Structure 1
Amino acid sequence: MSNEARASVDDEVRRALSRIPAAFSGYRPFPPLLNLYGNSSGIMDALTTFKLCGAAKNDLLYVVEVHHGFTPRGPLHFRPGLYLRNGTGTDAPILAAAGDEAREPLLISTFSVKSFIMLPPLDIEANPRDLITEIMYATKTSNGAVSFRFAIEVGPKMKCREQFEWKKVGTGNAHSGFILVRLGPQSASPSPTPPSPTPSAQEESEILAELLFGNVMSLNHLFSLELKGAGCSGEMGDRWTLMVVVTALRLYWLRVYGKTNKVVVGIGQKLRGR
């Protein structure tokens, strides 16, 4: 190949690379109120995607894609879960993901107490494309309540890592959901699951978000997520907000498969020794 031809190929490669969207170069800020809807655009869309919108259904912010785990496509590979696309189409880069701990037989995966939550790295400029994995743990407390706990960096500078808990509330299909409370800073050497807060500490904790599900049989309006207090003011930081949104999507998916049930979570803790 001549030098001119090689230079021409190199130019084409550079132009092609410049057109590849950077997954984490930026994303539309999340409003205080988000709603998840089914996608009624067509049969395939209804089975494979959801619409994450603002306060109104026509305010489409992001597409959420179902990943069944039959192929290793995307960062979840063979683990089933959901992809939050960084845009309004399935051709947009994957901004975040939430899925099972591993691809396991149905009976075993039903009782898994861990969820993989995959987010952009802290230093996006140094590592602009790879997602990093956080863990959300399902627990059943001594009083029989079900909660899901995770840790994440907070604040605009993301220098402090704190623990949070989604607490299950309500009993009816139309009114069930979770509230998110703050547990406090994560210890330097965290245990596999965050320590249980005392009942008084839970009662006094500020509610940072509220997740309310639609009727379990509804294929239209699936849930509402409202940021509250410090979660709404922006002081928790963009990374915290993204984590809240992705864990809310994961809780919806777990609920669909009956994996937020206290019996299922309790059995999972015993099987996993947690």
Structure 2
Amino acid sequence: MENSEERKTVISLRNASKWFPSRDLPNVRGLNSVSLDVLEGDVVVLLGPSGSGKSTLLRCLNLLNIPDEGQLRVGSVEWDAKAYFSARSRERRYNRDFQRLRRETGMVFQHFNLFPHMTVLENVMCGLVHSKGMSKDEAREIALEEIVKVGLADREGHYPGQLSGGQKQRVAIARAIATKPLAMLFDEPTSALDPELRGSVLAVMQDLAKEGMTMVVVTHEMGFARAVGNHIVFLESGEIIEEGLSNDFLDNPKTERAQRFLSEIA
């Protein structure tokens, strides 16, 4: 791995805060002035207890959750919450930046989000045709390459209902990486899978890391965090409590809260 001084910053989030409306209570704070840098080739693992803000933070990185405050840059595309909320009703430019930024990331969800009426090949081709504007022939060629990469060459004509959970998740990964994003975002990609199916998905993610793919991963897979992750960010109550190199954090967490968390999941 190159020194951080020699690597580009792929994602930069600054002072991001997010609130969620509540019917009976004041708005619930999901994030509180969180800042995060993700360098080229990083595999950043977001850890923390349930409700700590891990998924909220991840979804803010591609504006699936729109921060109420803060700034975000992915590659060369910048977005500012203050400008967005003050001008979105009259300035189309902010909506264009919104879409450009989202196209720079690939997202893999916990529950796959495949189109059930499309085959494996059609699911992977979809983003290439509709988001990238490719011809179907060009999209098919790229999609087939990614399907082979995730080990599903013999399933290209199958529908999601004919696949196991692990296979569905690998299709979702192929669909995301086919668009050649600057970074991949994974929201607990193995939590909905039976234990025996997790290995195939983690193996694909490990291969992506070896190829240098920049990744941000919400997971409870400590083996993956140690073997593949190079940086860990630990959150609680919407704030970053501690962060550092994976082995340093896992072997010698500095905060009492992180120590307690690791002891409970060991």
Name the TM tier (shorter chain): under 0.3
TM-score (norm 1): 0.25
Report which of the two structures shows the higher radius of gyration computed on alpha carbons. 1
Which structure: greater strand fraction? 1
Name the structure, 1 or 2, with higher relative contact order (CA <8 Å, separation 6+): 2
